[in-house]
């Protein structure tokens, strides 16, 4: 029986980098679940790679078919952006394990949908000063930087990943992302333990 490893952390904590490095480790045999969003595509992103980018109308059609596993709405400075996971045939937990990037909220909702025994949390933590520096550097490299949205996300993370919410979701273990290679190796070992 497979499991879903849910990689979580505040913005700019290194989730995307760790995610890519873990998928490169073929001995883990992890598959991907591509999440969905209605937000605009960013420079360097590709539809069907980082996300499936949907219109509001396409999302409504999926809702009508009962295909939404979890859905989160964020009131950004650019309007409401929605992120969701769809039951679209990507998952076969009878035979495969998966690695996804998610939020604490999506992790809890996926637990409700699949069962607690199928979900394994992987929580990344990085010093706030370093996170803010990374976020600013990333935003500067966009063709149309959205600094206000970057700041909103940074502040929202303090509430979204509060210790109380982490405890309520049953997340006790934290992986401190000081060195990407060491952190990836530590998480890979943890995944192997969980798959045994």
Pair of tokens at residue 141: 């490299």
Tens-place pLDDT, residues 25-50? 999 999 999 889 999 998 899 999 88
- Using alpha carbons, select from 51, 44, 39 the residue that is nearest to residue 85: 51
HSE toward the beta carbon, residue 127, CA cutoff 13 A: 5
Does 22 have pLDDT greater than 90?
yes
Mean pLDDT of all residues in 2-9: 96
pTM more than 0.85:
no
Long-range contacts of 172-176 (CB under 8 A, 24+ apart): 173/121, 173/123, 174/123, 174/124, 174/125, 175/122, 175/123, 175/124, 175/125, 176/125, 176/126
The pLDDT value recorded for residue 4 is 96
pLDDT in tens, 117-150: 999 999 999 998 888 888 899 889 999 998 998 8
């Amino acid at each position: 029986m497979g499991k879903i490893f849910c990689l979580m952390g505040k913005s700019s904590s290194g989730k995307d980098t760790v995610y890519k490095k873990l998928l490169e480790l073929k001995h883990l045999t992890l598959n991907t679940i591509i999440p969905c969003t209605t937000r605009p595509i960013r420079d360097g992103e590709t539809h069907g790679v980082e996300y499936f980018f949907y219109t509001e109308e396409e999302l409504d059609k999926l809702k009508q078919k009962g295909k939404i596993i979890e859905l989160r709405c964020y009131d950004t400075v650019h309007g409401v952006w929605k992120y969701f996971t769809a039951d679209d045939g990507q998952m076969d937990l009878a035979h495969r394990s998966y690695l996804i990037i998610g939020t604490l909220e999506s992790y809890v909702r996926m637990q409700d949908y699949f069962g607690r025994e199928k979900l394994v949390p992987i929580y990344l933590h990085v010093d706030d000063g370093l996170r803010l520096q990374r976020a600013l550097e990333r935003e500067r490299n966009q063709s149309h930087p959205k600094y206000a949205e970057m700041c909103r996300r940074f502040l929202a993370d303090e509430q979204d990943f509060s210790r109380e919410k982490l405890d309520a979701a049953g997340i006790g273990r934290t992986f401190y992302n000081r060195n990407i290679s060491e952190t990836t190796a530590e998480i890979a070992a943890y995944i192997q333990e969980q798959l045994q």
